[in-house]
Amino acid sequence: MAEPLEHLLGMWRIRILEETVQQLRLDGDIVGSVHLANGQEAIAVGACAQLKSQDAVFATYRGHGWALARGVPAHGILAELLARKTGVNGGRGGSAYFSAPEYGFYGENSIVGAGVPIAVGAALAAKFDNSGRVSLAVFGDGAMNQGGVTEAMNLAAVKSLPVILVCENNRYSELTPIEDMVRNPDLSARAGALGIPAVRIDGNDPVQVSTAIALARQNAAHGLGPTFVEAETRRIVGHYIGDAQQYRPEGELEADLQAEPIKRFRRQLEGAGVPNEIVDGVEEKARREIKEATERALADPPVDPSTALEHLYV
Partner 1 sequence: MSDKVKLTYGGAVNAALARCLEQYPETILYGEDVALPGGVFGVTRGLQKAFGERVFDTPISETAMLGAAVGAAMMGRRPIVEIMWMDFALVAFDQIVNQAANVRYVSEGRLSAPLTIRTQQGNAPGACAQHSQNLEALLLHVPGIRVAMPVSAQDAHDVLIAAVACDDPVVVIENRTLYPGAKAEVQLNQPPQPIGGHRRRRRGDDVTVVTWGAISASVQAAADLVAAEGIGADVIEAVWLNPFDTEAVQDSVRRTGRLLVVHEANVTGGFGAEVVARVVEAGVPLKAPPRRLGAQDTRIPAAVALAQAVLPQTAQIADALRALVKG
Query: Which parts of this chain interact with Mg ion (CB under 5 A)?
Result: 140-142, 170, 172
Q: Which is nearer to ligand TPP, 133 or 235 (CB)?
A: 235
Asked if 279 and 270 count as a contact pair (C-beta separation under 8 A), the reply is yes
Count of Cβ atoms closer than 10 Å to residue 9 Cβ: 18
Q: Let me know how many helices (H) and strands (E) the chain has, helices first.
A: 11, 7
Buried b / exposed e along 269-286 (16+ C-beta atoms within 10 A) = beeeebeeeebeebbebb
Alpha-carbon span 2 to 163, nearest angstrom: 28
Report in angstroms how near the CB of residue 139 gets to a second copy at its nearest. 14
Q: Which is nearer to partner 1, 251 or 305 (CB)?
A: 305
Member of 27, 128, 180, 250 binding a second copy (CB under 8 A): 180
- Name the residue type at position 124: L
Report in angstroms how near the CB of residue 146 gets to ligand TPP at its nearest. 6
Q: CA dist 243 to 172, 237, 246, 262, Å?
A: 13, 8, 8, 23
In 3-state terms, what secondary structure has residue 184? coil
Which option in partner 1, a second copy, Mg ion, none does residue 193 bind, with CB closer than 5 to 8 A by kind? a second copy
Helical ranges in the chain per DSSP H:
3-26, 41-48, 64-69, 74-81, 115-129, 147-158, 188-193, 206-221, 252-259, 261-271, 276-299
Member of 130, 184, 246, 306 binding a second copy (CB under 8 A): 184
Report in angstroms how near the CB of residue 266 gets to a second copy at its nearest. 37
Which option in partner 1, ligand TPP, Mg ion, none does residue 63 bind, with CB closer than 5 to 8 A by kind? none
* β-strand partners of 168: 140, 231
Alpha-carbon span 198 to 306, nearest angstrom: 49
Which option in partner 1, a second copy, Mg ion, none does residue 307 bind, with CB closer than 5 to 8 A by kind? partner 1
Q: Which is nearer to ligand TPP, 168 or 230 (CB)?
A: 168
Report in angstroms how near the CB of residue 235 gets to a second copy at its nearest. 22
Q: Which is nearer to Mg ion, 257 or 299 (CB)?
A: 257
Round the CA-based radius of gyration of the chain to a whole number and report it. Answer: 19
- From residue 108 to residue 147, the character string flagging contacts with a second copy as x (rule: CB under 8 A) and all else as - is -------------------------------------xxx
Ramachandran bin of 225, using left for φ above 0, alpha for ψ from -120 to 50, beta for the remaining angles: left
Report in angstroms how near the CB of residue 298 gets to ligand TPP at its nearest. 28
Query: Which residues between 154 and 173 bind a second copy (CB under 8 A)?
Result: 154, 157-158
Q: Which is nearer to ligand TPP, 110 or 150 (CB)?
A: 110
Question: Contact positions toward a second copy, by CB under 8 A?
Answer: 145-151, 154, 157-158, 180-184, 186, 189-190, 192-196, 225
